[in-house]
Amino acid sequence: MIEIPADPFVFRCAPATLGLVVIDMQRDFIEPGGFGESLGNDVARLGAIVPTVARLLAGFRAAGLPVIHTRECHKPDLSDLPSSKRDRGAPSLRIGDPGPMGRILVAGEPGAEIIPELAPIAGEPVLDKPGKGAFCNTGFEDLLTARGLRHLILAGVTTEVCVQTTMREANDRGFDCLLATDATESYFPAFKAATIQMITAQGGIVGWAAPTQAILGALDA
Ligand code: TIU
C-alpha cells in the first residue's frame, strides 16, 4: 500500500492503481515566443518547476509506475478547434497562426512538443487533447481504465486551467486525484494558491495535495 501524507488527509492506494499524469509541459507554454506569452503572460514562472517535475518523473519511472503525458494541441486542419476557443479575446497570436515555434498549439509543430528536459520515454502514452481538460474528445478515460488506474498524481501547467480542469473531470469520473503542489505552476501565483485551497477544502471536494518530496517518500517506503 502507498500512503502519501497529504492535505486534507492521507492519500492511500495500491501501487497497481497509481499513475502520474503530467499535463502540457510544452514549449508553447513554457518558452518565450509561444502561446502562453501571446496571451500576455510572463512565461518565466513556469520554467522554475521543470527540475521538480523531472524528479517526480524519475521517481515514478524508478518505481516502475506508469506515466502519462498530455499536450494541448489541435489537428493541422483545426477541425477540432471550436471557434469559441480560437476567437476569444484579442491575443497577438491565435491558435493555428504561424509563430516563432511553428503554428501555435498545432500537433507536430515544435511549440506543441513537450520540453526536452521532460521528454516522454518509450512506452509512456502521450495524449493530445483539444480542450483544457484531458477527458474532452480524447480516449483518456478508456486509457486509464484499460491500465487499471484509479488513483492519479497530477503535475504540469497551468494549475488553474488545464491541471485543475483535468482534476475535476477525473474526480467526477471516480478517480482519486492528488495534485503535486510544487510540480505545478500558474502564470498567476494567486490562482495557483486558490486552486490548491479549493481542491482540498470541504474534506477534499476535488482531491488531495502534497509536495513532491512527500510523494517520492511514499513511493520509496
Ligand atoms: N495547459 C494549459 O493550462 N493551457 C492554457 O491555456 N493555460 C493558460 O493558463 N492559459
Q: Provide the percentage of residues in the chain whose pLDDT is more than 70.
A: 100
Known catalytic residue at 192: no
How far apart (Å, rounded) are the C-alpha atoms in residues 140 and 87?
Answer: 26
Could you read off the pLDDT of 101-126 as tens digits, one per residue?
999 999 999 999 999 999 999 999 99
Helix, strand, coil percentages, rounded to 5, for the chain = 40, 25, 40
Helix/strand/coil for 60 = helix
- Assess whether 132 carries a catalytic annotation: no
CA of 218 to the centre of ligand 1 (A): 30
pTM: 0.98
- Paired strand residues for 68: 21
Task: Evaluate whether 107 touches 73 at the Cβ level (below 8 Å).
Answer: yes
Residue 5 CB: number of other CB atoms within 10 A?
15
Check if the beta carbon of residue 110 is closer than 8 Å to that of residue 102: yes
Per-residue pLDDT at 126: 98
Distance in Å, CA 102 to ligand 1 centroid:
18
Residue 134 CA from chain centroid, whole number: 9
Region 172-196 average pLDDT = 98
pLDDT of 104 reads 93
As a whole number, mean pLDDT of residues 30-42 equals 89
Given a contact cutoff of 8 angstroms between Cβ atoms, the answer to whether 44 and 134 are in contact is no
Task: Tell whether the model's pLDDT for residue 43 goes beyond 90.
Answer: yes
The answer to which of 44-58, 82-96, 163-177 has the lowest mean pLDDT is: 82-96
| pLDDT at res. 52 | 98
Give, for ligand 1, the residue of 21, 23, 24 to mutate: max count of ligand atoms closer than 8 Å to Cβ: 24
Q: What is the reported pLDDT for 65?
A: 98
Residues 6+ apart with CB under 8 A from 20: 56, 57, 60, 65, 66, 67, 68, 152, 153, 155
Catalytic choice (73, 162, 177, 182) = 162
- Choosing from 69, 88, 132 the residue with most ligand 1 atoms within 8 A of its CB, the one to mutate for a pocket test is 132
What confidence tens digit (pLDDT) does each residue in 45-71 have? 999 999 999 999 999 999 999 999 999
Question: Is the Cβ–Cβ distance between 209 and 178 less than 8 Å?
Answer: yes
Rg (CA), the chain: 17
Q: Is 24 a catalytic residue?
A: yes
Average pLDDT over residues 184-209: 98
Does 38 have pLDDT greater than 90? Answer: no
Q: What pLDDT does residue 31 have?
A: 94
Report the percentage of the chain scoring pLDDT > 90. 92
